[in-house]
Structure 1
Amino acid sequence: MVDRLAAAIARHSDGRWSDTAVPRLTVVALEEPVAPADLLYEPMVCFIAGGAKRTVAGDRSWVAGRGEMFLNSFVLPVTCVFEQVPYRSAVLRLDSRVLADLLLELDGSSPRPQPHPAGQGIALMTPELLDAVTRWVRLLDAPEDIRPLAARTESEILYRLLGSPLGPHLRQFALADSGTARVREAAGWISAHYTEPLTVEEIAAVAHMSTATLHRHFKAATGMSPLRFQRHLRLQEARRRLVAGGTTAALVAEAVGYASPTQFSREYRRAYGLPPAQDAAHLRGRMESAATP
Structure 2
Amino acid sequence: MSKDQILTLIARRADRDGLTETGIEGLRLFRATQSIPCVPAVYDPCVVAIVSGVKEAILDGERFVYDSARYLCCPMSMPVKAGTPAASPEAPLYGVFLSLNARLMSELGLELDRAGHALPAAESGGRSPGIQLARWEPDFTDALLRLLELGESPTDMAILGQARLRELYYAILKGEAGAFARRAFSAGNAMARVIAHLSDHLDAPVSIDDLASRAGMSRAAFHRRFKQATRMAPVQFVKSMRLNKAAMKIASGATVNAAAQEVGYVSPSQFSREFKRHYGQSPRQWAEAQQLALGAL
Q: How high is the TM-score relative to the length of structure 2? A: 0.83
**Partner in structure 1 of residue 57 of structure 2:** 55
Contact 1:18 1:26 in 2 (8 A): yes
* Residue 223 in structure 1 maps to residue 231 in structure 2: yes
**Partner in structure 1 of residue 96 of structure 2:** 90
- 1:199-222 deviations in whole A, cap 9, x for unaligned? 222222222222233223322332
Higher relative CO (Cα under 8 Å, sequence separation at least 6) belongs to 2
Aligned-partner residue type, residue 71 of structure 2: M
- 1:176-217 deviations in whole A, cap 9, x for unaligned? 01xxx3112111221222223312222222222222332233
Aligned-partner residue type, residue 138 of structure 1: E
Q: CA deviation at 1:133?
A: 0.8
**Partner in structure 2 of residue 157 of structure 1:** 168
Seq. identity, %: 28
- 1:144-197 deviations in whole A, cap 9, x for unaligned? 1112222222232233333322121132133201xxx31121112212222233
Which deviates the most, 46-55 or 156-165? 156-165
Relative to structure 1, is the Cα distance of residues 32 and 262 closer, same or farther in structure 2, using a 3 angstrom cutoff? same
Aligned-partner residue type, residue 234 of structure 1: R
Measured in 1, the distance between the counterparts of 2:37 and 2:138 equals: 32
**Partner in structure 1 of residue 23 of structure 2:** 21
**Partner in structure 2 of residue 81 of structure 1:** 83
Q: CA deviation at 1:60?
A: 3.2
**Partner in structure 2 of residue 4 of structure 1:** 5
Measured in 2, the distance between the counterparts of 1:246 and 1:194 equals: 17
How many residue pairs end up in the alignment? 283
Q: 2:221 aligns with which of 213, 216, 219?
A: 213
Measured in 2, the distance between the counterparts of 1:273 and 1:118 equals: 26
Measured in 1, the distance between the counterparts of 2:144 and 2:153 equals: 15
Contact 1:242 1:252 in 2 (8 A): yes
Relative to structure 1, is the Cα distance of residues 263 and 25 closer, same or farther in structure 2, using a 3 angstrom cutoff? same
Aligned partner of residue 224 in structure 1, secondary structure: coil
* Residue 174 in structure 1 maps to residue 182 in structure 2: no
Aligned partner of residue 36 in structure 1, secondary structure: strand
**Partner in structure 2 of residue 234 of structure 1:** 242
* Residue 195 in structure 1 maps to residue 195 in structure 2: no
Measured in 1, the distance between the counterparts of 2:52 and 2:129 equals: 26
**Partner in structure 2 of residue 38 of structure 1:** 40
Q: CA deviation at 1:227?
A: 1.4
Aligned partner of residue 239 in structure 2, secondary structure: helix
Measured in 1, the distance between the counterparts of 2:136 and 2:271 equals: 42
Aligned-partner residue type, residue 7 of structure 1: T
Aligned partner of residue 258 in structure 1, secondary structure: coil
Contact 1:90 1:137 in 2 (8 A): no
Aligned-partner residue type, residue 103 of structure 2: R
Measured in 2, the distance between the counterparts of 1:100 and 1:256 equals: 29
Q: CA deviation at 1:70?
A: 0.9
Q: CA deviation at 1:17?
A: 1.4
Contact 1:69 1:123 in 2 (8 A): yes
Q: CA deviation at 1:139?
A: 1.2
Task: List runs of 5+ in structure 2 lacking aligned partners.
Answer: none
Aligned-partner residue type, residue 3 of structure 1: D
Q: CA deviation at 1:140?
A: 0.7
Measured in 2, the distance between the counterparts of 1:282 and 1:119 equals: 29
Aligned-partner residue type, residue 98 of structure 1: L
Q: How high is the TM-score relative to the length of structure 1? A: 0.84
Contact 2:106 2:187 in 1 (8 A): no
**Partner in structure 2 of residue 145 of structure 1:** 156
Q: CA deviation at 1:246?
A: 7.1
Task: List runs of 5+ in structure 1 lacking aligned partners.
Answer: none
Aligned Cα root-mean-square deviation (Å): 2.6
Contact 1:54 1:61 in 2 (8 A): yes
Aligned-partner residue type, residue 271 of structure 2: F
Q: 1:102 aligns with which of 85, 89, 108?
A: 108
